[in-house]
């Protein structure tokens, strides 16, 4: 039974990854989920696996070197999938210190613990032990010209405290691979969407607000472009990189689903109207009148677009879910999990929402 240590496994992508891995491998693997349970971590995401005998949850901060080292000492961990990170750009603008601590120092703590556990007396590492660092396309900066794409060779040019902290963590992993030949890979993904995403992010925010007749806040002119990746496709890519990717390599994981933010909002409104029965009173207020333009985000990158050529050629991964299908699956999931959304959007989230999106 191979043991995986997943950091940030109670978050959006992390919890989807855990679900994906249990669906694929069943009881052939064991997963240890380490999560601090900040605003983005939600154990409700993992209710259906919490009683699995091959699943363990440990509440811990990845910056706590003593606890992380003990987890490695007490378990024969063969795979690390490192999701844990502060990831919301708006929050990074408000409080960059937290992003540096978690994303840079937390990653360093994870690297040191894995290195200590896996390194052999001759300086090599235990065979078939691998560390995967999950990063973002935002480290590459912004694309201005249509037809340009981010490649693994694109120079880093981060513009927000969030992307700068992720770039720094990427460089730390690169340094360990180059200096120690530490067995790792880096993946840089485009914007994810799908089940369990908290409504600070564009797609669940617009779904939730539209269903509740609230305004749909759009930064600037709404024409910023993102490449959208359905989260299950991302999880599959991560697993394939760990099993088939060349060590020490970076792989970009993109969805080939470029959309302007305002285009996304119109698609969501159309899909909600299509899915809701005429008898549902919410359907009447789901109109374009809800769209409200607000002051643009500071340092707002104009366009992201990933070319996943390398991962397709070397690993055999490609995005399977086109946006029209993925957004329908996502909206259906939120319809089926309205209690989850109500729990997530209570309390402090509402205060944060008012602060972030006031026009």
Which of 35, 61, 78, 138 is an active site residue?
Answer: 138
Q: How many domains does the chain have?
A: 1
200: three-class secondary structure by DSSP? coil
pLDDT tens-digit profile of 210-236? 999 999 999 999 999 999 999 999 999
Q: Which residues contact 135 (CB under 8 A, 6 or more apart)?
A: 166, 169, 170, 186, 187, 188, 189
Token reading at 22: 């249990």
- Residue 120 maps to a domain: yes
Count CB neighbours of 160 within 10 A: 21
For the four alpha carbons of 151, 157, 163 and 164, in that order, the dihedral sign comes to positive
Measured distance between the N- and C-terminal CA atoms of the chain, rounded to whole angstroms: 53
Selecting among 55, 140, 149, 162, the annotated active-site residue is 162
Asked if residue 86 is part of any domain, the answer here is yes
Q: Rg (Cα) of the chain, in Å, rounded?
A: 20
pLDDT at 207 over 50: yes
Q: Domain limits at 107?
A: 2-196+231-256+299-321
Question: Is 352 part of a structural domain of the chain?
Answer: no
- Is 354 annotated as catalytic? no
Range with the poorest average pLDDT among 89-93, 255-259, 278-282: 89-93
pLDDT interval class at 90 (50, 70, 90): confident
In three-state secondary structure terms, 99 is: helix
pLDDT at residue 349 in the model:
45
31: domain CATH number is: 3.40.50.720
Q: What was the pLDDT predicted at 355?
A: 64
As a residue count, the chain comes to 359
C-alpha 68/C-alpha 84 separation (Å) is 13
Q: Is 137 a catalytic residue?
A: yes
User: Is 130 a domain residue?
Assistant: yes
Instruction: Specify whether 296 is catalytic.
Output: no
Q: Kindly report the pTM of this predicted structure.
A: 0.93
Within 13 Å and on the Cβ side, how many CA atoms surround 314?
17
* Model confidence pLDDT, tens digit, residues 125-154: 999 999 999 999 999 999 876 779 999 999
Question: Does 290 reside within a domain?
Answer: no
Residue 87, domain member (yes or no): yes
- Does 100 reside within a domain? yes
CB 22 within 8 A of CB 47: no
98 pLDDT higher than 70: yes
In a domain, 340, yes or no: no
Of 137, 170, 227, 239, which residue is the catalytic one?
137
């Amino acid at each position: 039974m191979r043991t995986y240590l997943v950091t940030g496994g109670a978050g959006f992508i992390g919890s989807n990854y855990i679900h994906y891995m249990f669906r694929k491998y069943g009881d052939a693997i064991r997963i240890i989920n380490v999560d601090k349970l900040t605003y983005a971590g939600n154990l409700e995401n993992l209710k259906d696996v919490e009683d699995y005998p091959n699943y363990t949850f440990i509440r811990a901060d990845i910056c706590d070197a003593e606890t992380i080292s003990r987890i490695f000492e007490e378990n024969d961990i063969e795979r690390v999938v490192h999701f844990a990170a502060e990831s919301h750009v708006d929050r990074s603008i408000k409080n960059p210190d937290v992003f540096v601590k978690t994303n840079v120092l937390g990653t360093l703590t994870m690297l040191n613990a894995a290195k200590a556990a896996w390194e052999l007396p001759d300086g090599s590492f235990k065979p078939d032990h691998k560390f995967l660092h999950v990063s973002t396309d935002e480290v590459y900066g912004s694309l201005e010209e249509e037809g340009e794409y981010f490649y693994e060779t694109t120079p880093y040019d981060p513009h927000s405290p969030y992307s700068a902290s992720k770039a720094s963590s990427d460089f730390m992993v690169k340094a360990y691979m180059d200096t120690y030949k530490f067995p790792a890979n880096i993946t840089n993904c485009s914007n994810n969407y799908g089940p369990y995403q908290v409504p600070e992010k564009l797609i669940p925010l617009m779904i939730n607000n539209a269903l509740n007749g609230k305004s749909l806040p759009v930064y600037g002119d709404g024409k910023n472009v993102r490449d959208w990746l359905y989260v299950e496709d991302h999880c599959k890519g991560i697993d394939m990189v760990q099993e088939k990717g060349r060590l020490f390599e970076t792989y970009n994981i993109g969805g080939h689903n470029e959309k302007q933010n305002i285009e996304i909002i119109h698609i969501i409104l159309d899909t909600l109207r299509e899915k809701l029965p005429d008898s549902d009173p919410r359907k009447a207020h789901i109109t374009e009148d809800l769209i409200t333009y607000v002051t643009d985000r500071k340092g707002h990158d104009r366009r992201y677009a990933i070319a996943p050529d390398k991962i397709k050629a070397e690993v055999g991964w490609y995005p399977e879910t086109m946006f029209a299908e993925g957004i329908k699956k996502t909206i259906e999931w939120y319809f089926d999990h309205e209690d989850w959304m109500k729990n997530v959007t209570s309390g402090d989230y509402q205060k944060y929402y008012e602060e972030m999106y006031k026009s």
